[in-house]
């Protein structure tokens, strides 16, 4: 372009767009979640995070004070996604909703294997009591309380026996999900694909049911 230096022409070819701080932070966090799935917790370094987000290390520190803070934020986003399988059913019958939630887990876990399932077990298997492990424990407790509330709703509706401990039912759903996750990590997908995991869960849930609302007919 006449009258413009080569340097200026090059700089004008790729104009920098300043984004709102919240939008940039979200990009950093989303990039971090993807990196955790690819490289694990230890391999998700500041350099990789900055490169994936398209910013410098210095710019990253303008948004987060350190690597731990980025990972903490990633865990929050991680939890938004990790609870997706619990929100798939809107069945007004709470007991039936618990069954549908359990059945939804296997397909959800397959799609989220590299972004949630494997990194989750890597973190808890590291046996390191860090702020990250405490954060993920807090998220799990939140999900646990949600399930307890759902069980209590089932009791009020009459689909779940009133004498059943609500925590026992919530733990049963967690154990079902973790069993499927571990089976998939071990490569024994037939436990899921052939329906064994769901059949076991159905029978377990039936022991908590009054026998009038939960389960399949036929």
Neighbours of 170 (CB within 10 A): 20
Residues 104 and 63: their CA atoms lie apart, in Å, by 36
CATH among 1.10.357, 1.10.287, 1.20.1070, 1.20.1280 for 83-206: 1.10.357
Residues 103 and 101: their CA atoms lie apart, in Å, by 5
How many Å from the N-terminal Cα to the C-terminal Cα in the chain?
A: 77
φ/ψ region of 215 (left if φ > 0, alpha if ψ in -120 to 50, else beta) reads: left
Which CB contacts under 8 angstroms, 24+ apart, belong to 56-63?
Answer: 60/28, 63/21, 63/24, 63/25, 63/28
Alpha helices in 112-195 (DSSP H): 118-125, 131-157, 166-186, 190-193
Q: Decide: pTM greater than 0.75.
A: no
CATH class of 18-74: mainly alpha
**Distance from chain centroid for Cα 147:** 16
Say what the pLDDT of residue 130 is.
Answer: 67
Render each residue's pLDDT in the chain as its tens digit; 218 residues. 455 455 544 544 445 456 778 889 999 998 998 888 788 888 889 999 999 999 999 999 999 999 989 988 888 887 777 778 888 899 999 999 999 999 999 888 888 887 778 877 877 776 565 677 777 778 888 899 999 999 999 999 999 999 999 999 999 999 999 999 999 989 999 999 999 999 999 999 999 998 754 444 43
Q: What are the boundaries of each domain within the chain?
A: 18-74, 83-206
Place of tokens 């046996």: 127
């Amino acid at each position: 372009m006449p009258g413009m230096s080569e340097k200026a022409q090059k700089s004008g070819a790729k104009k920098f767009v300043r984004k709102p701080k919240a939008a940039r932070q979200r990009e950093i966090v989303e990039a971090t979640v993807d990196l955790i799935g690819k490289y694990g917790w230890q391999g998700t370094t500041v350099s990789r995070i900055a490169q994936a987000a398209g910013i410098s290390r210095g710019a990253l520190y303008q948004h987060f004070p350190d690597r731990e803070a980025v990972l903490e934020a990633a865990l929050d986003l991680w939890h938004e996604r990790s609870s997706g399988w619990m929100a798939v059913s809107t069945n007004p019958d709470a007991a039936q909703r618990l069954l549908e939630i359990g059945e939804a887990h296997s397909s959800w876990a397959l799609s989220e294997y590299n972004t949630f399932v494997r990194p989750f077990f890597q973190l808890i298997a590291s046996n390191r009591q860090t702020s990250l492990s405490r954060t993920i424990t807090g998220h799990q407790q939140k999900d646990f309380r949600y399930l307890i509330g759902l069980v209590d709703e089932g009791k009020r509706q009459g689909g779940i026996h009133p004498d059943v401990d609500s925590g026992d039912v919530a733990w049963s759903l967690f154990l079902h999900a973790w069993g499927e996750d571990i089976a998939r990590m071990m490569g024994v997908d037939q436990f899921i694909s052939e329906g064994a995991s769901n059949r076991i869960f159905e029978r377990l849930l039936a022991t908590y049911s009054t026998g009038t609302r939960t389960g399949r007919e036929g």
